[in-house]
């Protein structure tokens, strides 16, 4: 049995015995080892193009795993709050799918990966759609699809969606929202370009405000892992047991995460790590192992592509040590139970 399988078995047996004080498991030992191994890695830099994000402590670092049966493993600064940023695109996409269905959403946003940077001002030459929901242009178009009678109702629906995934209420960091709103000229340029081609509706500022607000939602590393585990668990939050998103759209969400979630690093990520994932310039990464677990990593030092340096390293090591790659046929994949 693998390290991960052994860890789950130990915890399951203790739970059956009514032991609430669970001893450190082999899986927790792996997380502690990875945290110790990479906490002194000083490569990369914090995001600076949004002024408020430049203030973050670069030494913050946490790793969390949540299994589909609700077991939680965590190390480091896992309670530290930060803004979710581009990781929010995954969940806004799911809400847009629930509001309109796959066919309609595809008329506004494609699903093709792109080698361009996440903030490139570019649309598909033929369809005039943004390439996918994980780049900024596609995310703005996706967010513009969220239903509601006005900005307040749309924001409340968005926040309630995050609550279902995370298991508790969330709030928007107003200082980060204001900072993004006042410096988001590139995103406004994308919105006007898409308006020109009919990919978003006329009320640009309302949709942009909602987009900036969703990016400024506050979460911690454990929240990220719970959200990822909810996707791994057919849309059911493994802690609260609440259905966060219609399970019919899980394959759509995970497919786009797998091919587009890591921007112009998506191909190498799929090749080396091999699980659906999404990064954000906050320094967070979520990764989903379908039917098994969700992974959250937070470290604000970013590489040139905008991905967490420590986060990528940790996920690569976890994939190798636990046999998580979806196409690993060596027989080393992690087994649960």
- φ/ψ of 140, rounded to 5, equals -65, -45
Please indicate, yes or no, whether residues 92 and 206 belong to a single structural domain of this protein: yes
Please indicate, yes or no, whether residues 237 and 181 belong to a single structural domain of this protein: no
CB neighbour burial string for 159-190, b if at least 16 within 10 angstroms, e if fewer: bebbbbbbbeebebbeebbebbbeebeebeeb
CA distances from residue 130 to 102, 123, 197 in whole angstroms, order as listed: 16, 5, 10
| Residue 337 forms part of a structural domain | no
User: pLDDT at position 331, please?
Assistant: 62
Residues in the chain: 337
User: pLDDT at position 121, please?
Assistant: 74
| Residue 334 forms part of a structural domain | no
Examine the fold and report which residue of 168, 193, 215 is the final residue of a domain before the chain moves on: 215
User: pLDDT at position 333, please?
Assistant: 55
| Residue 259 forms part of a structural domain | yes
Strand partners, 217: 172
Examine the fold and report which residue of 215, 249, 274 is the final residue of a domain before the chain moves on: 215
Please indicate, yes or no, whether residues 96 and 127 belong to a single structural domain of this protein: yes
Does the annotation flag 249 for ligand binding?
A: no
List the CATH number of the domain containing 50: 3.40.710.10
Please indicate, yes or no, whether residues 225 and 295 belong to a single structural domain of this protein: yes
Please indicate, yes or no, whether residues 81 and 94 belong to a single structural domain of this protein: no
Does the annotation flag 263 for ligand binding?
A: yes
Domain count, the chain: 2
Give the integer Cα–Cα distance in Å for 271 and 81. Answer: 31
Does the annotation flag 206 for ligand binding?
A: no
Please indicate, yes or no, whether residues 248 and 173 belong to a single structural domain of this protein: no
Residue 141: how many CB atoms within 10 A of its CB? 27
Examine the fold and report which residue of 215, 250, 285 is the final residue of a domain before the chain moves on: 215
Contact 325, 287 (CB under 8 A): no
Please indicate, yes or no, whether residues 117 and 172 belong to a single structural domain of this protein: yes
pTM of the model: 0.90
Please indicate, yes or no, whether residues 28 and 144 belong to a single structural domain of this protein: no
| Residue 293 forms part of a structural domain | yes
Q: Could you please report the per-residue DSSP string of 287-298?
A: EEETTTEEEEEE
CA distances from residue 111 to 102, 213, 246 in whole angstroms, order as listed: 11, 24, 19
Does the annotation flag 86 for ligand binding?
A: yes
User: pLDDT at position 207, please?
Assistant: 93
User: pLDDT at position 118, please?
Assistant: 75
Q: Which domain holds residue 15?
A: 3-85+219-322
User: pLDDT at position 280, please?
Assistant: 94
User: pLDDT at position 4, please?
Assistant: 55
Contact 193, 123 (CB under 8 A): yes
- φ/ψ of 66, rounded to 5, equals -125, 125
| Residue 328 forms part of a structural domain | no
Six-digit token pair at 233? 């668990």
Please indicate, yes or no, whether residues 194 and 211 belong to a single structural domain of this protein: yes
Please indicate, yes or no, whether residues 131 and 11 belong to a single structural domain of this protein: no
Coil, strand or helix at 247: helix
User: pLDDT at position 15, please?
Assistant: 37
End-to-end CA distance of the chain: 9
| Residue 330 forms part of a structural domain | no
| Residue 235 forms part of a structural domain | yes
Mean pLDDT (10-residue bins), the chain, 337 residues: 48 38 70 96 90 90 97 96 97 98 95 79 82 93 95 97 98 94 90 89 89 97 98 98 98 97 92 97 97 97 95 97 90 51
Please indicate, yes or no, whether residues 109 and 197 belong to a single structural domain of this protein: yes
Please indicate, yes or no, whether residues 110 and 252 belong to a single structural domain of this protein: no
| Residue 329 forms part of a structural domain | no
């Amino acid at each position: 049995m693998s390290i991960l399988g052994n860890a789950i078995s130990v915890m399951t047996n203790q739970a059956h015995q009514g032991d609430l004080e669970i001893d450190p498991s082999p899986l927790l030992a792996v997380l502690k080892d990875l945290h110790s191994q990479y906490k002194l890695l000083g490569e990369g830099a914090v995001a600076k193009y949004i002024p408020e994000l430049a203030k973050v402590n670069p030494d913050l670092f946490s790793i969390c795993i949540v299994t589909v049966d609700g077991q939680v493993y965590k190390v480091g600064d896992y309670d530290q709050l930060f803004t979710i940023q581009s990781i929010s695109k995954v969940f806004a996409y799911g809400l847009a799918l629930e509001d309109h269905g796959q066919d309609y959403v595809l008329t506004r946003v494609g699903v093709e990966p792109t080698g361009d940077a996440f903030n490139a001002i570019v649309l598909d030459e033929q369809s005039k759609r943004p390439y996918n929901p994980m780049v900024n242009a596609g995310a703005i178009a996706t967010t513009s699809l969220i239903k509601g009678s006005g900005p307040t109702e749309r924001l409340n629906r968005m926040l309630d969606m995050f609550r279902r995934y995370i298991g508790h209420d969330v709030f928007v960091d107003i200082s980060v929202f204001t900072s993004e709103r006042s410096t988001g000229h590139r995103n406004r340029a994308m919105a006007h370009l898409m308006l020109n081609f009919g990919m978003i509706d006329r009320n640009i500022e309302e949709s942009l405000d909602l987009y900036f607000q969703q990016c400024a939602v506050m979460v911690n590393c454990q929240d990220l892992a719970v959200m990822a585990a909810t996707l791994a668990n057919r849309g059911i939050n493994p802690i609260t047991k609440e259905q966060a998103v219609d399970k019919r759209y899980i394959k759509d969400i995970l497919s786009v995460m797998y091919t587009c979630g890591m921007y112009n690093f998506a191909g190498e990520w799929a090749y080396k790590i091999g699980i659906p994932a999404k990064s954000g310039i906050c320094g967070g990464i979520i990764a989903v192992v379908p039917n098994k677990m969700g992974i959250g990593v937070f470290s604000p030092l970013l590489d040139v592509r905008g991905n967490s340096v420590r986060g990528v390293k940790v996920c690569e090591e976890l994939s190798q040590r636990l046999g998580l790659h979806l196409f690993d046929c060596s027989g080393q994949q992690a087994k649960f139970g």
